[in-house]
Structure 1
Amino acid sequence: MARIVTISGSPSPSSRTKAVVEYIKNLPAAKDWQADSIDVRELPPEDLVHARFDSPAVQNTVRLLKQAEGVIIATPVYKASYAGLLKAYLDLLPQDVLSGKVVWPIAVGGTLAHLLVIDYALKPVLYALGAQHVLSGVYIEDRWIRRHQEKILLESEAEERIRALLERFVRNLTRSNQRR
């Protein structure tokens, strides 16, 4: 059983970004995971703003990340970059916390004009945190995500891309486990 951690970097309580993460965790391919979730908006704001590296809440997330084999990190796109809340959190993590992990970045934005935010903004930070195996990210326009009666619905294009990358994520987790 693979141990993964999902990170939702959205400051919004009704986040489409978090909805995508929950959607992925409920797909059949993810049922064999032991999945822990980090919702950055639920961390104490004063710990993030005052850069409290030793915060018990932040240290708990570091422990989860160190135990994980895979990490799914999702962010909304604001002003052509990933969320500032996520940046504040990532700045508190140890430099090698993603070493040896399979990392899958996901971004949700309002327009395809921000498609490259994963490659040019988020991936460099993930590499700075020790990630060596960062998968191709998936960018999803927020209009492709809907909620209907407590259920997350994705447009077919987004759903196909997520399912294809999920298969790749699972294959890479399996390979990573076999090397250990």
Structure 2
Amino acid sequence: MATVLSVSGSPSATSRTARLLRHLDQRLTAQGHEVIALDVRDLPAPALLGADPGHPAITGAAALFDRAQGIVIGTPIYKAAYSGLLKSLLDLLPQYALAGKTVLPLATGGTTAHVLAIDYALRPVLSSMGAAHIVPGWFTLDKDIVVGDDGTLTVAQGSAGALTEVVDQFSTALGGRAPFLAAAG
């Protein structure tokens, strides 16, 4: 199976985006993929803000991109665009860091007014970085992601079904085993 890099572009320590990605990582792992999580917020700010592509943490992140066959990019949407933190990392990666990769873009946000940010802000950048295949992504409203007191994550039914579908399409594009689908009754 494929190696998947799951990248959270959220600057928040209590990020719904990162929690949602880690939840989806479990599904990809169950489908036989090796999943590596990368929270961009854990990279050193001086390297990101100082645009230092030679910093060991940045070269380490670039090596993770190079190693993976599939990339899941998750970002909160702020002011109709993906996070500046994610932009900082993408700007420091080699121009064709996504060459030959299958990419799944995911976004979270407070209003459906931001739903097109995946297609109009993020997808062009991923394409310019050489992604071989960008599968249809998904935007999830913040209100549809609930984190319980015990840390468990629940996704509203409509969003959960759509997320399962896009993750399964991504897995299939990577050559993963097809998810079990119950026969229609």
What TM-score do you get using the length of structure 1 for normalisation?
0.94
**How much does 1:30 deviate?**
2.9
User: 1:36 maps to what in 2?
Assistant: 36
User: 2:160 maps to what in 1?
Assistant: 159
Aligned equivalents of 2:70 and 2:93: distance in 1?
A: 16
Q: Is 1:91 the equivalent of 2:108?
A: no
User: 2:16 maps to what in 1?
Assistant: 16
Runs of 4+ that moved beyond 2 A: none
Aligned equivalents of 1:170 and 1:82: distance in 2?
A: 23
Aligned equivalents of 2:70 and 2:54: distance in 1?
A: 24
Residue identity in the other structure for 1:75: T
SS of 1:170's equivalent?
helix
Aligned equivalents of 1:142 and 1:152: distance in 2?
A: 12
Aligned equivalents of 1:129 and 1:65: distance in 2?
A: 12
Deviations 1:109-128 (A, max 9, x none): 00001110000000111011
User: 2:151 maps to what in 1?
Assistant: 150
Aligned equivalents of 1:79 and 1:86: distance in 2?
A: 14
Aligned equivalents of 2:102 and 2:161: distance in 1?
A: 21
Q: Please list every run of 5 or more consecutive structure 1 residues that lacks an aligned counterpart in the other structure.
A: 176-180
Q: Please list every run of 5 or more consecutive structure 2 residues that lacks an aligned counterpart in the other structure.
A: 177-185
What TM-score do you get using the length of structure 2 for normalisation?
0.91
Aligned equivalents of 1:169 and 1:136: distance in 2?
A: 8
Aligned equivalents of 1:67 and 1:85: distance in 2?
A: 22
Deviations 1:130-149 (A, max 9, x none): 11200111000000000112
Whether the 8 Å CA contact 2:22–2:37 is kept in 1: the answer is: no
User: 1:26 maps to what in 2?
Assistant: 26
Give the CA RMSD over aligned residues: 1.0
Q: Is 1:108 the equivalent of 2:108?
A: yes
Residue identity in the other structure for 1:10: S
User: 1:70 maps to what in 2?
Assistant: 70
Aligned equivalents of 1:134 and 1:70: distance in 2?
A: 10
Query: For 1:116-135, what aligned pairs fall within 5 Å after superposition?
Result: 116-135=116-135
SS of 2:11's equivalent?
coil
Aligned equivalents of 1:157 and 1:58: distance in 2?
A: 37
Aligned equivalents of 1:160 and 1:30: distance in 2?
A: 18
**How much does 1:46 deviate?**
0.3
Residue identity in the other structure for 1:40: V
Aligned equivalents of 1:16 and 1:107: distance in 2?
A: 10
